[in-house]
Each structure stands twice: as structure tokens, then as C-alpha cells.
């Protein structure tokens, strides 16, 4: 991966880049409530495989049911919404299976829309201002015009909107400070939101449509990374 740094940038050697990605799929639905669910019910419905172990204690109250599993998948159920989260790594093959099982078991629900949230953090090797300079000098190509009264902005964010064949994509890029254990990393955070509007058809057709999107979520990751690699980091 080739990352174009500002002209005056002089990295230390060796150059170390951290590239982290995760995904969250969100299903808004007015019938969903955390008090309707528990771990045993999800296991009986074969949504949660029996061999999965909890990585942290279950969080359950009137507003949230949270299940964090040792395979790296987290399920959050709040009032009117369920979300499925995973790092993009070797365990992600379980991801679509869990969501499809949920849709198949609760196919009577009136799902309103479908969202895929993707995040990708790429660190820069030195200094808190490096990512900000990248946005201003490389993406915006006019750093000086953003100074006000001789002061440079402390944070930068750029937002792009794309109309894709089957969905809309909003892409946010901003400079961030991330923590890995006790280490600080500075870099760019790319956040993509794929929004799907559901067809005005029968509930069966909607469920089948949702399952088809979930089955092909890897294409969303591919498109997201392709835009980042070929448009912003080439």
C-alpha cells in the first residue's frame, strides 16, 4: 500500500503502519426490544452456536442487551434496533451466518432499512499533526486557506457522498488519536455508511432481499477499501 505524505514530511525509519478494520451491520425495527431476548433464546433459535463462549459478562437492562463472544462478534439489542459487530479478521466467516439466522427466525418483523458501517484506521508514523496535514495538503490541496487569525484547525474531517447501484455510501475521513494498550497512534479514520432502502413489497420479499445483502457483505468491504486505496491513498 502506497500512502502519499505531504512534501515536507520526513518519516523516521523503519516506517510502521497500523491498518485496522471493523464492520457493524444495523437493523432498525420498531418491534425489537432488549427485554424480548436473552442468550438462551438466541441459542435455542440456533442464532448463536452452542460452542460460542462469552468473552465478557452479559449486559442486560431495560435499554440494552449486549453479548460479546470470544470469536470476536458482539451483538447489541436496544429499543428499536439490533446491531452485529466484528473486527475484519479470520473469524468473520461466522458473521453473515448469525445475521441470516436472526432474519430467518424473526421474519415477521417489519424491518425499516438496512445499514452497513465500516471503519478503517490507518496510522501515520509520527506526530499528531501528520494526519491533519495529509487531509489539508493532499486531499484538500490548500492548507493555508484553513487558518483563521493565524491559528490552524485542531481537527479536520472531510465527507463524501456516493450514489451506488444498490445503495448510498457516506464516507467520512478525519484525523484521530487512537490508543492501543498504552500506546498512542495518530492517523486517518475512514468511516463508511452503506444505506439500503427496502423495497415496498411483501415481508417475505424484504427478508429475502436483506439476506441477499448480508450474504454479499464482503462486496461492501471490497468497494469501501477500493475507494480508499485507489482514490485517497494511491
| Residue 147 counted as domain residue | yes
- Cell 490552524, located at residue: 152
Which range marks the domain in which residue 43 is found?
Answer: 19-232
* Within-domain flag for 8: no
Within a domain: 33: yes
Q: If pLDDT is split at 50, 70 and 90, which confidence band does 177 have?
A: confident
Question: In the prediction, which pLDDT does 13 show?
Answer: 40
For residue 17, the model assigns a pLDDT of: 66
**How far is the CA of 10 from the CAs of 122, 187, 218, in angstroms?**
18, 15, 36
**7, part of any domain:** no
**Which strand ranges, in their side-by-side order, compose the sheet holding 168-180?**
59-60, 64-68, 73-78, 81-87, 19-28, 113-124, 183-197, 168-180, 157-163
Give the chain's domain count.
Answer: 1
Q: Which of 15-24, 103-112, 116-125, 157-166 has the lowest mean pLDDT?
A: 15-24
- Assess whether pLDDT exceeds 50 at residue 226: yes
Round to whole Å and give the CA distance between 107 and 110.
8
> In the predicted model, what is the mean pLDDT of residues 185-206?
89
Please tell me the distance from the alpha carbon of residue 168 to that of residue 166, in angstroms, as a whole number.
7
Query: What per-residue confidence (pLDDT) applies to 147?
Result: 55
Q: Tens digits of per-residue pLDDT, 65-109?
A: 999 999 999 999 999 999 999 999 766 778 999 999 999 999 999
Q: Which of 10-14, 129-133, 162-166, 211-215 has the lowest mean pLDDT?
A: 10-14
In a domain, 50, yes or no: yes
Whether 74 is in a domain gets the answer yes
Which of 113-127, 153-167, 175-189 shows the lowest per-residue confidence on average (mean pLDDT)?
Answer: 175-189
Residues 6+ apart with CB under 8 A from 108: 203
CA 41 from centre of chain: 27
pLDDT confidence band for 19 (50 / 70 / 90):
confident
User: Given this model, what pLDDT does residue 99 score?
Assistant: 97
Percent of the chain with pLDDT over 90: 56
Nearest to 56 by CA among 40, 38, 44, 74: 74
Q: What is the pLDDT of residue 183?
A: 74
Residue 165: φ, ψ to 5°: -55, -40
- Within a domain: residue 5? no
pTM: 0.84
Does a structural domain hold residue 192? Answer: yes
Beta carbons of 156 and 136 less than 8 angstroms apart: yes
Average the pLDDT over 192-205 and give the result.
Answer: 90
Residue 71 CA to its chain's centroid (Å): 17
Amino acid at each position: 500500500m502506497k500512502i502519499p505524505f505531504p512534501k515536507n514530511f520526513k518519516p523516521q525509519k523503519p516506517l510502521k503502519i497500523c491498518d485496522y478494520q471493523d464492520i457493524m451491520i444495523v437493523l432498525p425495527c420498531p418491534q425489537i426490544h432488549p427485554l424480548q431476548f436473552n442468550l438462551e433464546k438466541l441459542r435455542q433459535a440456533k442464532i448463536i452456536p452452542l460452542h460460542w463462549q462469552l468473552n465478557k459478562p452479559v449486559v442486560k437492562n431495560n435499554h440494552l442487551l449486549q453479548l460479546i463472544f470470544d470469536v470476536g462478534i458482539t451483538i447489541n439489542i436496544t429499543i428499536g434496533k439490533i446491531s452485529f459487530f466484528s473486527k475484519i479478521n479470520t473469524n468473520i466467516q461466522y458473521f453473515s451466518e448469525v445475521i441470516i439466522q436472526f432474519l430467518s427466525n424473526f421474519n415477521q418483523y417489519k424491518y425499516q432499512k438496512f445499514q452497513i458501517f465500516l471503519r478503517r484506521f490507518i496510522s501515520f508514523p509520527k506526530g499528531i499533526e501528520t494526519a491533519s496535514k495529509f487531509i489539508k495538503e493532499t486531499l484538500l490541496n490548500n492548507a493555508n486557506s484553513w487558518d483563521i487569525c493565524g491559528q490552524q484547525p485542531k481537527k479536520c474531517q472531510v465527507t463524501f457522498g456516493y450514489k451506488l447501484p444498490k445503495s448510498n455510501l457516506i464516507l467520512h475521513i478525519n484525523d484521530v488519536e487512537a490508543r492501543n494498550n498504552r500506546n498512542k497512534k495518530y492517523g486517518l479514520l475512514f468511516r463508511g455508511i452503506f444505506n439500503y432502502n427496502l423495497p415496498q413489497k411483501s415481508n417475505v420479499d424484504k427478508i429475502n432481499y436483506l439476506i441477499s445483502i448480508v450474504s454479499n457483505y464482503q462486496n461492501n468491504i471490497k468497494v469501501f477499501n477500493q475507494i480508499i486505496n485507489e482514490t485517497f491513498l494511491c
